[in-house]
Chains A and B, each alone.
Chain A
Amino acid sequence: MKHYLELFILGLPFAGLFALLGTGVVMIYRASKILTLAQGAIAMFTAYILYQLNNKPNGPGEHGFGIPLPLALPLAIAFAGAMGYAIERFLLRPLRDRAVLVSVIMTVGILSGLTGLAGIIWSYDRQDAPKLTPTGQTHIFGITLGYDQLAIIAMTVVVMLAVVYLFKRTTLGIAMRAVADDRRAALLMGIPADRVSSLTWIIGTILAGVAGILLSPLLQLQPLQLTLISIPAYAAVLFGGLSNLARMTIGAILVGVLYSEVPSLPVIKTHDFPGTPELAIFLAVIMFMFVTGKSTQLQEEEI
């Protein structure tokens, strides 16, 4: 039993990352009815930007400007926000009157473009990402957790609380919900809908950037891998029905825990049934969707 508890806690950092990524997706969906699949790519790209800013090149062929971390970190996060602004302003705003799936395909293009761009600039080889937290670990309830993992959990809790506060208590949050519900009505009420959309994207991509920066020391920098790690976050988003933040968070925790537990469940020997964690996560969520019959009313829309 203790083993599973351990795995549960070890799943939490993943859960946190998925929640961070998922929150961005949900926010953007709530404010602009756009499903962005580029969240993972933005996380990856931001992590690379930090690497580029912070890394001290030790020889030819290595990248980096050698800017100290306290300065590089805000710069990288600002970059993530700028990406969000540019994506919304120049790539998605022109598509506003088109079918919803068109903008999804657009975000797929952004995903593919950013991954490829990262490959061109930094190559597809693995790199070590800058460490944000001191190396070391601590014991909680007899379970060993690294500082980096703790940082992710803490960061997630802070961010989630902030987002809930933003949505429920601030004028901006209410404006975001209004714009999502009925853009024209919101405009008539004097809400600057364009600015609200921009702002949502900026916040959403910053969340993704933060997730990427926190995640990269745990794994390593690699364009494809860092992008793909975001896919389970989409299972959580699916679980939350695209717009329910609380359910998305629960979904993220479930997905994160499943991710760490499934490989060691006695029923399924993963070596005989490969790809089980991935399959299990998505099948679970998809079955859930199927049974509850949750579906967006998109059937009347066109590609």
Chain B
Amino acid sequence: MFGRRRWARWLLIAFLLVLPWIFGTDWANMEVRAAITTLALLSIVVLTGWVGQISLAQAALMGVGAFTAAQVTNKLSIDYPIHALFAGAAAAIVATGIGVFALRIRGLYLAIATLGFQWALQASFLEWKPFSGGFNGVQVPLNHLKLPCCDFTDDRVFYYLAWATAIVIIMMTANLRDSKTGRAWFAIRSSEVAAKTLGINVTSYKLLAFAVSGFIIGVAGSINLNFIGTATPLDYNFQKSITFLAIAVLGGIGAIGGAIVGSIAFVFSDQWLFAHNWFNGFFQGKIDVLAALLLIVTIIRNPAGIIGMREDMAERIAKRRAVKARRATRQIVLPVSGAQTPDAPSGEPSHASFAGQEEHVEGEGVAHDGTAVAAPPDRSVAERLASYVEARGSREQRIDAAPMLEVRDVTIRFGGVVANDGVSYEVRPGEICGLIGPNGAGKTTNFNCVNGLLVPNSGNVRFTGREISSMPVHDRAKLGMSRTFQLMRLFPRLTVFENIMVGTHLQNESGFASHLLMTRRSRSSDKRNEERVREVMSLLGISAHADSKVGGLPFGVLRLVELGRALVTQPRMLLLDEPASGLDVAETDAFAEILFKVRDEMGHTIFIIEHDMRLVMMICDYIYVLEFGRNLAEGFPSEIQSNPAVIAAYLGEESVA
């Protein structure tokens, strides 16, 4: 997802190994602090950077870890490496508790709620003496730390132990990021709704993120305890939570590297300020303030943090080059530019992308050329489409099979507005079925109800013979239902390939433990799915865009990416909500052909809402018409076209019936 820079790992490890032998124990001490801070920041990277859940209670969770570790040490005589597990588990449990609230309390509210948790936990630490020892905290005897193998009185030994722990956790976290779990998290960050429709159980993945984040910072707490030999409530106060968040953003909140760079920079500059007696020691211990000021500057200047600067620089250089190149060409082009302008700005990019796609469909595999000039609609597409339509045109009977989707008397009310009033229809397997109607007829509302985003007030929805009216969205996806959205919900910070890869969630049966350790099972699943994604991309003709972020791509391509993402879930039925809106005639034709292919070659049933009547009449086997939330008509395309009630509804006349 972020590029697997394995060499960076080994470099870091090698650097850490030799560090204390170069600089002596003072530096080793500092580096222990860096290990602790790295883990603390990592917990924020996971929760906030990857899953988009803000937490202002991280220091309190660290405290939970530290105090638990202290109690385990003192009462059960279990020492460092093992008691870290207890600490992590305790913090994970508390964090999951916070996560439960995060299921319903989102965004800004969550910021306040976690602030409240930090405050409440901090107050509890101060006063719950059996657990935290009150104001003075709990001490652990450091000589407890003697293992049979090594004597912990040498700082260097603890240094290695701390970083070993940190590195194991960092690696596991990196594994998670590159696995199905990580993809599910990224999906949730961008769009919970889209994630659900791809079969991701948003509830459990969110809780998992809180638990993982809690575990990481709990372990950090236990290392901190063993480092300073004591845990006091003031070590884990509000200020610390804020400082952690500040350095995490400074380092770069989206990447593991950001946590490492941020913490090392923070700890070293803290030490450095202490070591220098500038302005009568004015700066000593003022690192929190500096971090806050730097945070403010970072947010405005460079949102990706220190770790993002590298990419940022590369991007800026590329941009400058592009500008230079454009300037150079403009001088030549200028005299004739007037002749080119009419349709160049909007028409060109989307046409070009579809031209590339058509070449692909024909099996010539010509590389996509982003600068291709606008071409007239391809004749061969029109011909091929005509043959599809002809094949269908002879059919005047619906496919004779039990309906795949059955909607019976569905009524949906929003307050006083009745959006759907007893809507009924059925979609048979192997069909391309259309749902049309004037704006505001309740089509999308009905779709949302089929898909599970809305629960009907009355009536029921049956899918493949099962009653699903109140089934959660992700379970419907499991049954084989996938959809696209009228206003596309792609994951803007992922590439085209990664976007579609998220759709393979249900095809990947590996479990959490296998993601954590990146076992063969997880990798082979991913590999199989990657192939499948490539197949789908080449079917849709978007292979050329595989590695571009979806942010800057033309609209027509994005529609295809969303279709591809729905396709790789291997649905039995595809629900398409106005897939052709925003496409021009040529793009629509190409899209129509793809839909025919999807149905005929991949065997998916398609249920489509669409306003473009040309497309609807071309592709649909059977059509239902809604008006004002009620069934208005149904029939084959030819019947619908000549139905006076439908014509009246669309032209806005008085009802003819």
A166 to chain B, nearest CB (A): 23
Q: Is A228 an interface residue (CB 8 A)?
A: yes
CA distance A101 to B299 in the complex (A): 11
A296 and B52 contacting across the interface, CB-CB below 8 Å: no
Q: Is A62 an interface residue (CB 8 A)?
A: no
B124 and A109 contacting across the interface, CB-CB below 8 Å: no
Determine the chain B residues whose CB is within 8 A of the CB of A279 once the complex forms.
120, 123-124
Determine the chain A residues whose CB is within 8 A of the CB of B112 once the complex forms.
35, 37, 234-235, 237-238
A91 and B54 contacting across the interface, CB-CB below 8 Å: no
Within the complex, which residue of A106, A110, A282, A298 is in contact with B106, where a contact is CB–CB below 8 Å?
A: A298
Q: Is B468 an interface residue (CB 8 A)?
A: no
Determine the chain B residues whose CB is within 8 A of the CB of A102 once the complex forms.
299, 303
Using CB atoms and an 8 Å cutoff, list the residues of chain A in contact with chain B. Answer: 35, 37, 91, 94-95, 98, 100-102, 104-106, 108-113, 115-117, 119-120, 224, 228, 231, 234-235, 237-238, 242, 270-271, 273-275, 277-279, 281-283, 285-286, 289-290, 293-296, 298-303
Name the interface size band of chain B.
35 or more
B286 and A116 contacting across the interface, CB-CB below 8 Å: yes
Given contacts A289-B105, A303-B189, A303-B253, A234 and B115 within 8 Å (CB-CB): yes
Determine the chain A residues whose CB is within 8 A of the CB of B190 once the complex forms.
300, 302
Q: Is B275 an interface residue (CB 8 A)?
A: no
B296 and A91 contacting across the interface, CB-CB below 8 Å: yes
CA distance A228 to B56 in the complex (A): 13
A115 and B296 contacting across the interface, CB-CB below 8 Å: no
Within the complex, which residue of B113, B119, B299 is in contact with A106, where a contact is CB–CB below 8 Å?
A: B299
CA distance A200 to B299 in the complex (A): 22
Determine the chain B residues whose CB is within 8 A of the CB of A104 once the complex forms.
54, 108, 111
**Chain B residue, CB-CB nearest to A242:** B108
Q: Is B104 an interface residue (CB 8 A)?
A: yes
Determine the chain B residues whose CB is within 8 A of the CB of A289 once the complex forms.
101, 104-105, 109, 113
Determine the chain B residues whose CB is within 8 A of the CB of A94 once the complex forms.
300
Binds A, one of B142-150, B241-249, B256-264, B509-517: B241-249
Determine the chain A residues whose CB is within 8 A of the CB of B573 once the complex forms.
none
Determine the chain B residues whose CB is within 8 A of the CB of A237 once the complex forms.
112
Given contacts A91-B300, A231-B119, A302 and B493 within 8 Å (CB-CB): yes
Given contacts A98-B303, A105-B299, A289-B113, A282 and B239 within 8 Å (CB-CB): no
Given contacts A109-B246, A112-B246, A282-B119, A228 and B238 within 8 Å (CB-CB): yes
A295 and B289 contacting across the interface, CB-CB below 8 Å: no
Determine the chain B residues whose CB is within 8 A of the CB of A294 once the complex forms.
104-105, 109
Using CB atoms and an 8 Å cutoff, list the residues of chain B in contact with chain A. Answer: 48-49, 52, 54, 56, 101, 104-109, 111-113, 115-117, 119-129, 189-193, 238-239, 242-243, 245-246, 249, 253-254, 282, 286, 288-289, 291-293, 295-296, 299-300, 303, 489, 492-493
B326 to chain A, nearest CB (A): 25
Within the complex, which residue of A112, A120, A273 is in contact with B239, where a contact is CB–CB below 8 Å?
A: A112
CA distance A283 to B98 in the complex (A): 11
B105 and A295 contacting across the interface, CB-CB below 8 Å: yes
A273 to chain B, nearest CB (A): 8
Nearest 8 Cβ contacts at the A-B interface: A274-B127, A298-B107, A116-B289, A275-B123, A282-B116, A275-B124, A112-B292, A113-B292
CA distance A41 to B217 in the complex (A): 27
B115 and A109 contacting across the interface, CB-CB below 8 Å: no
B245 and A108 contacting across the interface, CB-CB below 8 Å: yes
- 7 new A-B contacts, CB < 8 A, other than A275-B121, A282-B116, are A35-B112, A101-B111, A105-B54, A112-B243, A116-B289, A274-B129, A296-B108
Within the complex, which residue of A100, A101, A108, A270 is in contact with B246, where a contact is CB–CB below 8 Å?
A: A108
**Chain B residue, CB-CB nearest to A104:** B111
Determine the chain B residues whose CB is within 8 A of the CB of A112 once the complex forms.
239, 242-243, 246, 288-289, 291-292, 295
CA distance A119 to B238 in the complex (A): 15
Within the complex, which residue of A108, A282, A295 is in contact with B56, where a contact is CB–CB below 8 Å?
A: A108
Determine the chain A residues whose CB is within 8 A of the CB of B115 once the complex forms.
37, 231, 234
Determine the chain A residues whose CB is within 8 A of the CB of B126 once the complex forms.
274-275
B286 and A35 contacting across the interface, CB-CB below 8 Å: no
Given contacts A112-B246, A238-B109, A299 and B120 within 8 Å (CB-CB): no
**Chain B residue, CB-CB nearest to A224:** B239
Within the complex, which residue of B123, B243, B286, B296 is in contact with A120, where a contact is CB–CB below 8 Å?
A: B286
B120 and A278 contacting across the interface, CB-CB below 8 Å: yes
Given contacts A91-B300, A238-B109, A282-B120, A293 and B104 within 8 Å (CB-CB): yes
Determine the chain B residues whose CB is within 8 A of the CB of A235 once the complex forms.
112, 116
Within the complex, which residue of A116, A117, A286, A302 is in contact with B116, where a contact is CB–CB below 8 Å?
A: A286
Contacts A/B (CB < 8 Å), 22 sampled: A94-B300, A100-B107, A101-B54, A101-B108, A109-B246, A112-B242, A112-B243, A112-B288, A113-B296, A116-B288, A116-B289, A238-B113, A274-B123, A275-B120, A282-B116, A282-B117, A289-B104, A295-B105, A300-B191, A302-B52, A302-B493, A303-B253
Determine the chain A residues whose CB is within 8 A of the CB of B192 once the complex forms.
299-300
Determine the chain B residues whose CB is within 8 A of the CB of A95 once the complex forms.
299-300
CA distance A117 to B300 in the complex (A): 20
Determine the chain B residues whose CB is within 8 A of the CB of A105 once the complex forms.
54, 245, 249, 295, 299
**Chain B residue, CB-CB nearest to A289:** B105
B623 to chain A, nearest CB (A): 32
CA distance A111 to B117 in the complex (A): 18
CA distance A296 to B109 in the complex (A): 7
Q: Which of A102, A108, A278: most chain B CB closer than 10 A?
A: A108
CA distance A274 to B189 in the complex (A): 36
CA distance A112 to B48 in the complex (A): 19
A37 and B111 contacting across the interface, CB-CB below 8 Å: yes
A303 and B289 contacting across the interface, CB-CB below 8 Å: no
B120 and A303 contacting across the interface, CB-CB below 8 Å: no
**Chain A residue, CB-CB nearest to B98:** A286
CA distance A144 to B120 in the complex (A): 30
B94 to chain A, nearest CB (A): 13
CA distance A282 to B492 in the complex (A): 35
Q: Which of B106, B108, B123, B246: most chain A CB closer than 10 A?
A: B108
Given contacts A101-B54, A235-B116, A303-B49, A278 and B106 within 8 Å (CB-CB): no
Determine the chain B residues whose CB is within 8 A of the CB of A282 once the complex forms.
113, 116-117, 119-120
CA distance A240 to B353 in the complex (A): 49
CA distance A94 to B289 in the complex (A): 22
A109 and B108 contacting across the interface, CB-CB below 8 Å: no
**Chain B residue, CB-CB nearest to A293:** B104
A6 to chain B, nearest CB (A): 24
B107 and A299 contacting across the interface, CB-CB below 8 Å: yes
CA distance A298 to B106 in the complex (A): 7
A258 to chain B, nearest CB (A): 13
CA distance A300 to B296 in the complex (A): 24
Within the complex, which residue of B113, B282, B300 is in contact with A286, where a contact is CB–CB below 8 Å?
A: B113
